[in-house]
Amino acid sequence: MLACLFPGQGAQSAGFLHRLPAHRVVKDTIDQASAALSIDVLSLDTADALRSSVAVQIGLVVAGVASARRLAADGFDIALCAGLSVGAYAAAVICGAIAFEDALALVKKRAELMEAAYPRGYGLAAIDGLTEHEVEVLAADLARDCAIRVYVGNVNAPRQIVVAGSDEALEAFGARALAAGAHRAKRLDVSVPSHCELLAAQSAELSSYATGIAFHAPRALYIGNRRARALRAPEAIREDLATNMRYTVRWFDALTSIVELGATVLVEAPPGQVLTSIAQFTFPDVPALSACATPDERLIAILRKRLARNLQ
């Protein structure tokens, strides 16, 4: 069984849309997105454009959908879909829960709400080497001692936790985390405090906006961000997408669910490689490939070989 993983904000780099495979389906997907948004989507991946969360989030969804459609065009059956944060929107499109144009409208609204609320001075930081409990204890200590706080935004792996907060809070927390034994405390290329209560009001507004968008029962399994389980009801997927900016993303649990549900090969959509690394480390017996790190023809050949082997 093939599972597609879709990365979130922070995976982007200048030119990532231009590095997608030169395939008819990819071009058609970019053209479809450009028409839906009344912009040239290929203009969204310049270094200047990527300073905006709106450009980043739209670009990531387009790249994810284009990449998965390219695999489907070669006959690959995508049985499971999961995306981290904004990547969940691409996952929902590929599993058939929402139309591509509707997902683009929803993610554009999402990014605009987030950026308007926190245009500067906030973001995310990755903490490697501490557990979620250890991070929570340090965050509580920081709030008590300095009256500033960070929030657990992502649990990517048992000892890879992403925290959200103001620049001041992230800097102070990073120093405390390193002193407590963290291997690394690194700011991510994200300019908003995603996946925490700081976005509660924006999540509520997006939920209201989403009520006007049609959702459908998924054809493939969709793994949610918040509860990390397969969601089959359209309303459950709507709620997962509209509120994931407010709640912790339990990516490690989602990845575990994907493997437990029978995935035998994992492919991460461009421009991501981090989800691939997490999967390779956590589940070394399940082949995991990054589409942006593997030339297109070679990726197709590897997938055919791996999936055929699993059928034997």
- C-alpha 154/C-alpha 86 separation (Å) is 13
Burial (CB < 10 A; 0-12, 13-18, 19+), residue 83, is buried
| 43 assigned to active site | no
- Across 92-201, where does the E strand assignment appear? 122-128, 151-157, 160-166, 184-187
Structure tokens belonging to residue 102: 């509707």
Q: How many residues does the chain have?
A: 312
φ, ψ of residue 264 to 5 degrees: the values are: -110, -15
- Out of 53, 191, 194, 195, pick the active-site residue: 195
- Token pair 């992403």 is found at 162
Alpha helices in 147-216 (DSSP H): 167-179, 200-210
- Out of 85, 194, 203, 290, pick the active-site residue: 85
Residue 265 and residue 306 in contact, taking contact as beta carbons nearer than 8 Å = yes
| 53 assigned to active site | no
Partners of 7 in the beta sheet?
none
Residue 17 and residue 47 in contact, taking contact as beta carbons nearer than 8 Å = no
Contacts of 119 (CB under 8 A, 6+ apart): none
Q: Annotated catalytic sites, by residue? A: 85, 195
